[in-house]
Structure 1
Amino acid sequence: MANGNSTFSVIGSDVTITGDISASVDLHVDGKIEGDIKCASLVQGEHSVIKGAVTAETARMSGKVSGSITAKELVILKTARIEGDVHYDALTIEQGAQVDGRFSPNSQRASSSTGAASAPAKPQQGDKSPQLQMAN
């Protein structure tokens, strides 16, 4: 509910939602979601399960995800188990996290969807290149 009084929504550990979720505010998920999630910022609890695509400006994943993840800033914590492709601008992965899928910077995804040549784009001077950071 984005009425100015609420800055985030919480889905508790005892909640299961079947269907897509769209939120204009930040979302904290501790329960189980069977559907796609679109929100400003997502924090996933350690015991949470998401079966569907995740799209967020920022995402901090620590549970199980079966589906693709698209975020500008993505943090994958050591307890995360992800089965799906990961699209990002900035990425941090803690040692111990498990990802079964492909990693692709959002910039590559955008250029391939415009019908650009199949050769990989070379970074040009001044371009903001995607970042990959390994956490301790």
Structure 2
Amino acid sequence: MQNPITTPRGFFDGVVAPDVADLRENVQDVRLAFHAAISIHQLPEWIFKAGLTQHVELSQYRDSLYALRPDLKIIRDIASNAKHFPPERATPLNIGTSAGPALSFPDTPFFEPTQKQVLAKDEQGGSQWVIPVILAAFDFWSKEMTQYLS
């Protein structure tokens, strides 16, 4: 086997970063949003099981991350909705596409006021544009991963 993924950094570089890059290229693709959310949500487990945190339980580590970055809870909910139907420990969401505010990517024409992209709605009618949440979580982990160089 060549280039196995065996470290949190390897998982980030080999799975998370490509998932997010693919989503940036196709912001209306629900499948890609699910993939990005699932891989981002798995990072704490990789870090915890590699012994790179002082927490004694994975749930404590995740809770500390949620306190620091509430958007990671949204990532958890999206990932749980992708993996489980209906999700048992997360907010049930309807996830699809809708016309939303244009995202500022280099290839987005400046004259487009809206852009079709992934939207998550909960049962109470609240909604969340998924792409900005995933990108914010990715930016957070990009900075965090600088301490895990190998």
**Structures share a fold, TM > 0.5?**
no
Of Structure 1 and Structure 2, the greater strand share is in 1
Give the TM-score normalised by the residue count of structure 2: 0.22
Of Structure 1 and Structure 2, the greater helix share is in 2
Give the TM-score normalised by the residue count of structure 1: 0.23
Which structure exhibits the higher relative contact order, with contacts defined as CA atoms closer than 8 Å and separated by 6 or more residues? 2
